[in-house]
Amino acid sequence: MPQMFCQVAIHICECFVPYAGKLRRFFLHPAEGRPNVLFLVVDDLRPELGCYGSPVITPNIDQLAIQSIRFTNAHAQQALCAPSRASFLTSRRPDTTKVYDLDTYWRNAGGNFTTLPQYFKENGYFTASMGKVFHNGTASNETDDYPYSWSVPAYHPSTTKYKRKKVCLSPDGTRHEYLLCPVDVSQQPEGTLPDIQLADNAISMIRNMSSGLKSTNASSHLPFFLGLGFYKPHVPFKFPKEFLSLYPIETIKMATNKNLPASLPDVAFETYSSLREREDIAALNLSFPYGPMPDKYHLLIRQHYYAAVSYVDAMIGRVLNALEQSSLADNTIIVLIGDHGWQLGEHSEFAKFSNYALATRVPLLIHVPPLLKTSFYQKKLTTFHFQDVFQNMPQQTEGSGKVSNAFVELVDIFPTIVDLAGLPSVSECPSVSHEIQLCTEGTSLLPLIKPVSAGAESMWKNCTFSQYPRPDIQPKNNTDVPKLKDIRIMGYTLQTKYYRFAEWLGFDTNTSKPDWSNVYARELYDLEKDVEENNNVADEPQYQLIIKNLTKALQKGWRNCKPL
């Protein structure tokens, strides 16, 4: 039997052929009978999906949403790739991981924390990473945290090396590094794009895994944890040009709140530096730091973001269809998230890099497979037929599928997936946990997923916490993504049902602690009157008692908002 497991392991990992020999020992003790996990992370994806009420065409994600729990109020802990991913993959908040920039590796800074895939690996799962799951580079030790988190080295599409290359064709036939970059894929280097390669590789692995499992006894099922990190709609907006035809420019609408709020503190503003460095935007000679962006480009950016989302939807649809065709869908937990949001011209901002809800709020879908031995749902078979985004079909609405409006955070994902898979639950971290490898600063969402817990939301956490660093109170060239050594201010924000409150405080990166007595600025948005967060009322007299109470809540921290 051990020899048979080794053969299956090699077959499963055909796309990781150079590493197949390293897997022999791993597969001697499979975690039999456990569900698989497909973990989908989409870069810079805000809830701009059909299933969230958006006009953006996303039939494949919508199809997943109908068969999932859709969370409408999920927030990232920091609106930047590396800190957010380090946070939700360790279930620790940024002040614990000590990851605030794009260069810090949590094992060197915060502690030797066990990650979500690592925990599954330690419990007998084959774990594999494709694309951008961890933030690639120094933030994951140049290895995507292999071998701690993954059974084999991570797969990166070969075409990612062209991200900052001049591959965007202009009307005069010259090539440039543009923000707006719809392309003829056949004319791109290697004749493909990263997300196409990512989907191809994932499909190959799923098919190989399925055929390998069919060659052995059903009791020898080898469960997998497959992390897929899609690159779009992150800038630049480089995607197959046909997707742009889905969104004629005359149908695109401006953000309803495109102007810079007069009451916004300077420290809270992001300068959309990631756009300014692209040739097409640089040519506009925008005033620094506030712009504004010309209306023409405001519309073009929104159009290209929508097209990039539809492109990723098509790639996700291909992967889900392969999962169904391989007879693996009915025993696979599927989780889809954005790593943080993105502002599409609202408040005159075009990026993440802030504490606005548009920057922290993300889509979160959790699909519980019908063959999982639970009483969560009726055992209805999973169907993931590929949906062609170019076919006219009814658009899914935000009323489709099961919905939770509870406050949830991305740090909740780790303990949730663990509980769904039937692994030993992860305990809550104590107030000081740098020496503790495995614990959570989130809360398992299991009570919200079980339909028998219909009243769970009324007893759930009543707020979420996020934060964002700044180098100075005034916008600078490094305002959006300051390096650790340059961080002097931390903006902490608290989101409740009725208010979003933020304090921008002096911050010591050596201790990862704020100086609560050194307040540079405050923000308060009355969400009953101002759901778009356009009017900062922090200085208005009638709100001072509310600010006093929210300041106390902010200082008490996330534990004070835990479920009852």
Domains and their CATH numbers in the chain: 36-212+223-261+295-373+381-456 (3.40.720.10)
Which range, 154-168, 208-222, 365-379, 439-453, has the best average confidence (pLDDT)?
154-168
**pLDDT(126) > 70:** yes
**pLDDT(4) > 50:** no
- CB atoms under 10 Å from CB of 25, counted, come to 11
- Residue 377 burial (10 A CB sphere; 0-12, 13-18, 19+): middle
Mean pLDDT of the chain: 91
pLDDT of residue 262: 87
pLDDT, one tens digit per residue, over 75-107 is 999 999 999 999 999 999 999 999 999 999 999
Q: Which two tokens stand for residue 535?
A: 């009017």
Closest of 465, 352, 334 to residue 412, by C-alpha = 465
Q: Which two tokens stand for residue 344?
A: 């599409």
In sequence order, what E strands does 452-564 have? 464-470, 489-495, 499-508, 513-526
β-partners of residue 225 are 37, 127
**pLDDT(377) > 90:** no
Higher-confidence residue: 234 or 374?
A: 234
Higher-confidence residue: 471 or 4?
A: 471
Taking CA atoms, 560 is separated from 75, 267, 406, 501, 518, in Å, by: 17, 27, 16, 15, 22
| Share of residues in the chain with pLDDT > 90 (%) | 83
pLDDT, one tens digit per residue, over 7-42 is 334 444 444 434 433 332 333 333 557 999 999 999
Peptide bond into 2 cis (omega under 30): no
**Stretch 498-526: mean pLDDT, rounded?**
98
Higher-confidence residue: 375 or 171?
A: 171
pLDDT of residue 12: 41
**pLDDT(221) > 70:** no
The pTM of the full predicted model, rounded to 2 decimals, is: 0.93
Q: Both ends of the chain: CA-CA distance in Å?
A: 48
Question: Which residues are catalytic, by number?
Answer: 81, 135
**pLDDT(202) > 80:** yes
| Share of residues in the chain with pLDDT > 70 (%) | 88
pLDDT of residue 3: 36
**pLDDT(425) > 80:** yes
